[in-house]
Amino acid sequence: MKIILLGYMASGKSTIGKEISKKLDMNFIDLDTYISEQEKRSIPEIFKSKGEIYFRRIESIYLKELLNNEGDFVLSLGGGTPCYSNNMELIQYSKATSIYIKASIPTLTARLLEEKNTRPLVADLENEKITEFVAKHLFERKFFYEEASVILNTENKSMQEIVLEIKSVLN
């Protein structure tokens, strides 16, 4: 079984992924961490030195590599992964269950303000501009996210409720 978590940055994909992988006794893989390990540099360093086009190309290559892996795992994607290089098609044709981790614009904005330094796409934005940036970006990406097998609204839900909901859709 492969479970793929997708959604906007700061939606909670990695946090939820780690938790669900523990509950289901499966390996957890964060795609950005995997890419960093393979490339031997951080995602911000890759963006800075090689650019976004290079990053999106290798992101798709590593996603394919993981999807072709025989093992079971929970995979957390980067926020943009489903939107580039026909990655959503790859996910849909794999035997994985894809879950869109959906959070509201105010929730995403609040989280991004807290994590601003570690998020290359918003690091240089003024705080007042983040809500507008998130709304615009989310509008552009929503089409891809909503192609997931499952749409899970996480708003005002505890981790326990989210995990139970994911477990119920897998059975």
Domains contained in the chain, CATH given: 2-156 (3.40.50.300)
Residues 152 and 106: their CA atoms lie apart, in Å, by: 17
Per residue in 21-47, pLDDT (tens digit) is 999 999 999 999 999 999 999 988 998
State what percent of residues in the chain have pLDDT above 70.
Answer: 100
Q: Please give the backbone phi and psi of residue 109, each rounded to the nearest 5 degrees, phi first.
A: -60, -45
pLDDT of 139 reads 96
Per residue in 83-123, pLDDT (tens digit) is 999 999 999 999 899 999 999 999 999 999 999 888 878 88
